[in-house]
Structures are given as C-alpha cells and as structure tokens.
Amino acid sequence: MKYEQLAKDIIENVGGKENVNSVVHCITRLRFKLKDEGKANTDVLKDMDGVVTVMKSGGQYQVVIGNHVPDVYKAVVAEGGFQGSSPVDAEDEGKKGNILNSFIDLVSGIFTPILGVLAASGMIKGFNALFIASGWLDASGGTYQILNAIGDALFYFLPILLGYTAMKKFGGTPFLGMVIAMALVYPALEGIPKAGEPLYTLFKGTMFESPVYIEFFGIPVILMTYAMSVIPIIVSAFFAAKLEKFFAKVIPDVVKMFLVPMFTLLIIIPLTFIVIGPIATWASQLLGQATIWVYDLSPIIAGAFIGGFWLIFVMFGLHWGLVPIGINNFVSQGWDPILALIFVHSFALAGAILAVWIKTRNSKMKTLSAPAFISAIFGVTEPGMYGIALPLKKPFIFTLISSAIGGAMLGVFGTVGYVMGGLGVFQLPSFIPESGIDMSVIGAVIAAVVGMVLAFVLTYFFGGINKNQEATPVTEEKVAEKTVGNTKAETIVSPLSGEVKNLADIDDAAFASGALGQGVAIEPTEGKLFAPVSGTVTALFPTNHAIGITSDDGAEILIHIGMDTVQLDGKHFTSHTTQGNRVEKGQLLIEFNIEGIKEAGFPLTTPVVVTNYANYEVTPACDAVVKSQDVLLQVKPK
C-alpha cells in the first residue's frame, strides 16, 4: 500500500491505536478524536513527510494531509483496524436535517453499494428471457439454467447483501446483518410449511390471516418467504445495530468479542421471525399494492409525471425515494411499473445531444457531444445532462418534454418491468414477460424512438444551439488565456459574492500558511457557490461543504465553505452537482444557509485556493469586495 508507512507513523504519533476513539476525514485532513491529546507527538507529526501541519479544533485532533487524504485515511483505517466511517457516523449519531434528506441518505447508503451488481443480474435475467422468447435457448436446457442461476442468485439472496449494507449504514457489524439474513432464508425453515398441516391460524378472516406451523418457547412463529425480500432485513438490521451497541457497553471487554454477537443474534433473529418479519412483510405488500393502485388510476399521467421529472429527481437525489419502491414491487408483486416509466429519458437526452452534435459550430461542444450521446444510449445520462443539456438550457427542457411524452406512451402500452435491469438499451430485456415479447415490449421500443426523435427535432430547430456561440468577444478573461509553453494561463473568477481577505489573515493555520494552496479567502454575503472555471468536479465531500475542481487547462481549485463546517454533517448545505461531473463557469454548484451556519457557531470564511500552485504563479486580481463571476485570481504557469 502506497501510504502504509505514513499511516503507521501517524498512528504511532497520535498515541497509538489504543488512544484513538474515532477517525474520519474531510477534504484535506484526518480528524481524530483522541482519548488523551497529551499523548500525541504534535511536533513530530508536523515535521513528518506527507503531513502539512497539525491543528486542534472542535474537540478534534486534525492531521492536515492535503488532496490525497482519502488514500491516507484508507491506509490509517486498515493499519489501525479502525471501523471506517463517514463524518456523519462519527458525530452525534443520526443525521441532522429534514426527514426527506435523512430518508434519501439512508436509502442511498443501503442500496448504492449493490446497484451495479443488482443491475447486472437483472440484465442477465432479462437477456435470458429474450433468448427464450426468440427461440435461441430451450428453458429445459443447461445453458438457460446456468444463466438463470447467475441472474437469479442475487435476487434470491438479496436479504444477505442488504443485511451487510444496512448494518454498515446503521453503525453495526456488517457480518451480523448477513447472519440474520441467512437465518431468514434458511432452507429448512422455508420448507416447513410444505411439510404438513398448520398448528392453528392467526388473524383468521382478515387480510393478515396467517397459518402457524411452529412455535418458539410457546410463542407462535409466522413463517414468511424472505427470499428476495427488502424491508424485513433492513428493519431487523436497524434494531440489531442498536442491540449490538447496548451489549458492547455492558459486556466486559475480555469476553466482548463473542458474547456481543451471540446475545445480539439470540435476541434479534427470534424477534425478527416473531414480530419484525411479519409486520415488515405486510408493510411491503401494502406499499406494493399502493403504488400499483396509483398506477392503475392513470398509467398515462403516472408515466408523464415520472418520465418527465426523472432527470430532475436525479439532480436532487430524489430518485432514491422511488428505487426501493420499484425493488419492493419486484419482490411483492413480481413486476413493477414505476422504474419502467423512466425508460425513455435516456433516449430523449440522446436525441437532444445528437441534435447539438450535428448543429453546433463550437468545436468543444461537438467534441463533448459524441461520447455523451453514446453514454446516454446506454443509460449514463450525467455527461450529457451536466455537460451539454443543462448549460444550453433549451435542450434540457426539450428532453424533459420528450421524456414525459414517452413515459405517457409507456403507460398506454402497459409496459412494466419484471426484473431490476440496467438503463438505456440494457433496460429493454427486463420488460419481456415469461410468455415472450408482446405489445408492451414493442410499445417500449416505439416510445423510446418517439422520445428520441421528438427531442432531436425540438432541439435542432428550436434549441438555440449556436445563439451564444457565434463569436466570443474579446474580454479581460480572453486576454489572460495566452499560451505559455504547453499550458494556458487562466483567469479564475470568484465563486462567491463577498469580502476578499488575505489567506494569511484567516483563522486556520493549514490554509493561512499557504500549505494547502495559494489564493484568497472570501467572507460570503450570499449563500450560493458558482463554478469559478469550466472543468471537472474532482472532489466533493459528502457533507457538501468543500469542493475541488480541475479546470480544462489544468488548474486544481479547492473551495472550502467556512471553517470546521464538516462538523455540521451536511446540514445547511445543498449540492447541485456530483463528483466526476463536468461543470461550466458560472454554474451553480452549492447552496448554503449563511444564517444557519453562523447560528451553529461556525465562521463562514471561505478559502479559494489553487492546490497545484507549484506549477503556477497565483496572483490575486480583485477588489476588496467581489461579486460572483468577477475576476478573482490570475494563474500563470511558471
């Protein structure tokens, strides 16, 4: 490991692993909570290669590393045997903020780690159905059976994967979550209802009528089918994490390693079978029925709404509220209309991008359009959405309109999904029922073609593609872009409106010393941060308080909103971009609540620095007060 020795030295000089309560990282520094800061060798750490400086603030012992802190953090966690966590986990448990944000964070934390393999498995199942429908394979043949096992295994044992990710999200031991899920899908228990008559029946005559085949110390156990289930294991993992933490506090250290998991499993697994599992299963069934009921009211309106707003949902992270509903529908109903209704959005975007690609006279936009078009066809919309459609505005609007019309058509044709497939062309096989290709599948193809063609026509003729690309006037910024060797000099505009300060005058030693970069600081007067250059978001901290951007000409810019604001756990910050996205100069990136941050007791002084300053001469070129998009820094290669 590249940073293994550095990690060992850092752990040794913060007083050893036994002196560490927790460690997290922000965008530039490791943040330790030490049992005794007096045991740390601060002077040794400051002089260490790979360490910029050491700071003590907010009850944290901060070892400033710089841009490669995520790699150092991984090495420190591995070397110290610490449990990896985010700043959200390390602070007061439970994310502060509104209920919607908390829900989105919860769902994304549980499902994101498995989405890739989940989609891959769904695609294999979908293509297998296509092979059967087209006569390429025989359902009784070995090839079909093996492909079916590959595609179906994840879905059957889905609770085991969710047990891992849910326990990790709730702060418990992930392997405990897996064992709970293994008990839920244990074959011997699943086979009991098929082996004989029930002992008696509970809730007879109601929608919750349940035969009882076994008892646990005289308590009736309602055996459910938990294979492919979602909600029961997540609820169980939540309570298991609480139980584990309780036992970890009361059980002596000498026997903690095996007694904590033993007591946790002995309590939570029977509790899950007796109470949590049945209630969660009924809840999931009701949720599935409710979404189908809404869809049945008007598939056309549902399709227009979900299809038309899907890209907006993605921009704000709201799509995470629909993804688990779709997955739950697959489990409880065997099919899902919700995620099927988004099928057209990537094709509509591809049509808009294709129109830009053909018509634009801007060489840079034309270069971007080709890979963005291909990505959109395969369901990856971020390059085209953030790099082309949104900056040009009208193509984005036409994409939404075309996607809404396509979604309505999907509702008319009754297109639904039978497995969790991929996106773009890879989603199509997931619409094929066991009976073979029918009008709902053909309708999906028609809707995709209509959405793509409509977006192309609207964008080509009414998109204003070349309106702002005819001739760029000579400005102060263009004068600064003279070529120096193989690199261009750049002008960096202000990402904020506010009062400009010298870095040396701010109350943060790491930034004030210039060790993290050269630039200025701004005391913001408006809670909006805009892109200071056109380029790529190379770093965005999960709490949205800091962002790193690499310009098209190579300057690496770090903007850190406020001092120690990582401790706010994302409260008062809203991001409008994600790491890896392309952004255009002047694009809104982050909004933040100035009053809320001040009331929480954190300074808002915001450093704006060029971190690869060793390659540049960085010169402030601004007045004492700036507005966003005013010239802030001149950057000239050395």
Q: For residue 470, is pLDDT > 60?
A: no
- Residue 363: per-residue pLDDT: 74
- Residue 566: per-residue pLDDT: 83
Say which residues have a Cβ less than 8 Å from residue 384's Cβ, sequence separation at least 6.
349, 350, 352, 353, 369, 372, 373, 375, 376
- The active-site residue out of 25, 345, 560, 572 is 560
The answer to which of 262-266, 404-408, 423-427, 633-637 has the lowest mean pLDDT is 423-427
Provide the token pair at 231: 């909600």
Mean confidence (pLDDT) of the chain: 84
Q: For residue 483, is pLDDT > 60?
A: no
Structural domains in the chain plus CATH codes:
4-85 (3.30.1360.60), 157-295 (no CATH), 298-462 (no CATH), 476-637 (2.70.70.10)
Q: For residue 158, is pLDDT > 50?
A: yes
Say which residues have a Cβ less than 8 Å from residue 461's Cβ, sequence separation at least 6.
none
Q: For residue 606, is pLDDT > 70?
A: yes
Can you tell me the mean pLDDT for 277-305?
A: 84
Provide the token pair at 414: 């009754």
Q: What is the dihedral of CA 252, 254, 256, 258, to 10 degrees?
A: -140
Half-sphere exposure of 215 (CA within 13 A, CB side): 8
- Residue 265: per-residue pLDDT: 96
**349-386 tens-digit pLDDT:** 999 999 999 998 877 678 778 887 887 888 767 667 76
Contact 604, 616 (CB under 8 A): no
- Residue 85: per-residue pLDDT: 47
Can you tell me the mean pLDDT for 191-207?
A: 85
Can you tell me the mean pLDDT for 15-31?
A: 84
Sheet holding 53-57, edge to edge: 20-25, 29-34, 60-64, 53-57
Residues shown for the chain:
638
Q: Name the pairing type of β-strands 200-202 and 60-64.
A: unpaired
- Residue 98: per-residue pLDDT: 52
**What DSSP element (H or E) covers 194?**
helix 192-195
**159-176 tens-digit pLDDT:** 999 999 999 888 899 999
**48-91 tens-digit pLDDT:** 888 877 877 656 788 888 767 888 888 898 888 886 544 434 33
Number of other residues whose CB lies within 10 A of the CB of residue 76: 28
Q: Single out the residue of 162, 163, 156 nearest to residue 178, CA to CA.
A: 163
Provide the token pair at 118: 């989940």
The answer to which of 50-59, 330-339, 438-447 has the lowest mean pLDDT is 50-59
Q: What is the dihedral of CA 379, 381, 383, 386, to 10 degrees?
A: 180
Q: Is 26 a catalytic residue?
A: yes
Could you give the angle at the alpha carbon of 607 between the alpha carbons of 601 and 608, nearest 5°?
145
Q: Looking at the whole model, is its pTM more than 0.85?
A: no
Q: Which amino acid type is present at position 75?
A: A
- The active-site residue out of 26, 319, 545, 576 is 26
Q: What share of the chain is helix, strand, coil (3-state, %, to 5)?
A: 55, 15, 30
Q: Is 319 a catalytic residue?
A: no
Q: Single out the residue of 519, 597, 506, 602 nearest to residue 558, CA to CA.
A: 519
The answer to which of 104-118, 249-263, 544-558 has the lowest mean pLDDT is 104-118
The answer to which of 91-105, 202-216, 305-319, 399-413 has the lowest mean pLDDT is 91-105
Tally DSSP H helices, then E strands, for the chain.
24, 24
Instruction: Tell me the H-state helices in 251-379.
Output: 253-271, 277-297, 299-315, 323-332, 345-359, 363-377
Question: Residue 627 — very low, low, confident or very high, per pLDDT cuts 50/70/90?
Answer: very high
Question: Residue 321 — very low, low, confident or very high, per pLDDT cuts 50/70/90?
Answer: low
